[in-house]
Structure 1
Amino acid sequence: MQEVIEEERPRRGRVLAVVSAIGPPITLSTALLIYFGWVRADAQARAMGLDVTLFGYTTQDLILFSLSHLFIPLVFALVAGLIWLTLDRWLLRRIHDPATRGTVHRYTLVAVVAGVLVAAVMLLLELSAAGDGPLFGPYVMAGGVLLAAWAVRLRRLARSVPEQRPPVEQRAAEAALVFGLVSLLMFWGAADHAQAVGQSLAASLEQRVATLPHAELYSVKPLGIGGPAVREVRLGSAASPLYRYDGLRLLEVSGGRFFFLHDGWTVRNGVVVVLPDDNSVRIEFGR
Structure 2
Amino acid sequence: MYFLGAVYLTSYYHYFRLDAFSLGFGFAELSIQSLNVLKAPVAIALIVAVVAARHLTTREAAPAQGSLARLLERWARTVVRAHLAFIFVGLLLLLLWSRIQPYGWTAPLLLGTGLLLGQTPWAGEGAIRSTLWSKAVPVFTGGLLMMWAFSVATSQMGEQEAHQAADQLVRRTAVVILSTDRLSLAGPGLKAEDLGAKAHYRYRYTGLRRLIERNGRYYLLPLGWDPRTGPTYVIQDGNGVRVELLPGTQ
Coarse TM-score class (shorter-chain normalised): 0.7 to 0.9
Q: Does 1:43 align with 2:11?
A: yes
Shift of 1:179: 3.0
1:13 matched to which residue of 2? none
How far does the alpha carbon of each residue in 1:108-167 deviate from its partner, in whole angstroms, 9 at most, with x for none? 6x666511221221122122224735433322222221111103677434xxxxxxx74x
1:262 matched to which residue of 2? 222
Q: Call closer, same or farther: CA 1:188–1:83 in 2, change over 3 Å.
A: closer
Q: Call closer, same or farther: CA 1:241–1:274 in 2, change over 3 Å.
A: closer
Q: Does 1:80 align with 2:49?
A: yes
- TM-score, length-scaled by structure 2: 0.77
1:244 matched to which residue of 2? 204
Shift of 1:60: 2.2
Matched-pair contact (CA < 8 Å) for 1:38–1:62: yes
Shift of 1:85: 2.5
Q: Call closer, same or farther: CA 1:239–1:124 in 2, change over 3 Å.
A: closer
Shift of 1:205: 2.7
Q: Does 1:120 align with 2:88?
A: yes
Stretch of structure 1 that moved more, 133-142 or 240-249? 133-142
2:70 matched to which residue of 1? none
Q: Does 1:143 align with 2:143?
A: no
Shift of 1:259: 0.9
Residue 184 of structure 1 aligns with an amino acid whose one-letter code is: L
Matched-pair contact (CA < 8 Å) for 2:56–2:120: no
Paired with 2:175 and 2:105, the residues of 1 have a C-alpha distance of: 38
Matched-pair contact (CA < 8 Å) for 1:111–1:151: no
Identity of aligned residues (%): 24
Q: 2:150 aligns with which of 190, 195, 202?
A: 190
- 1:33-182 paired onto structure 2 within 5 Å: 33-72=1-40, 73-86=42-55, 89=58, 91-92=60-61, 113-130=81-98, 132=101, 134-151=104-121, 155-157=125-127, 166=129, 170=131, 174-182=134-142
Shift of 1:285: 1.4
Matched-pair contact (CA < 8 Å) for 1:47–1:202: yes
2:17 match: secondary structure: coil
Larger radius of gyration: 1
Shift of 1:271: 1.8
Q: Does 1:219 align with 2:179?
A: yes
Paired with 2:218 and 2:200, the residues of 1 have a C-alpha distance of: 25
Matched-pair contact (CA < 8 Å) for 1:202–1:267: no
Q: Call closer, same or farther: CA 1:184–1:223 in 2, change over 3 Å.
A: same
Shift of 1:255: 5.4
Paired with 2:81 and 2:12, the residues of 1 have a C-alpha distance of: 40
Shift of 1:52: 3.0
Aligned length: 233
Residue 42 of structure 1 aligns with an amino acid whose one-letter code is: T
Paired with 1:120 and 1:200, the residues of 2 have a C-alpha distance of: 30
Paired with 2:192 and 2:155, the residues of 1 have a C-alpha distance of: 36
Residue 79 of structure 1 aligns with an amino acid whose one-letter code is: V
Matched-pair contact (CA < 8 Å) for 1:250–1:260: yes
Paired with 2:4 and 2:109, the residues of 1 have a C-alpha distance of: 14
Residue 229 of structure 1 aligns with an amino acid whose one-letter code is: G
Matched-pair contact (CA < 8 Å) for 1:226–1:271: no
Q: Call closer, same or farther: CA 1:202–1:49 in 2, change over 3 Å.
A: same
Stretch of structure 1 that moved more, 202-211 or 272-281? 272-281
- TM-score, length-scaled by structure 1: 0.69
Q: Call closer, same or farther: CA 1:111–1:194 in 2, change over 3 Å.
A: closer
Structure 1 unaligned spans of 5+: 1-32, 95-103, 158-164
Q: 1:271 aligns with which of 209, 220, 231?
A: 231
Shift of 1:51: 3.0
Structure 2 unaligned spans of 5+: 64-72
Q: Call closer, same or farther: CA 1:87–1:126 in 2, change over 3 Å.
A: closer
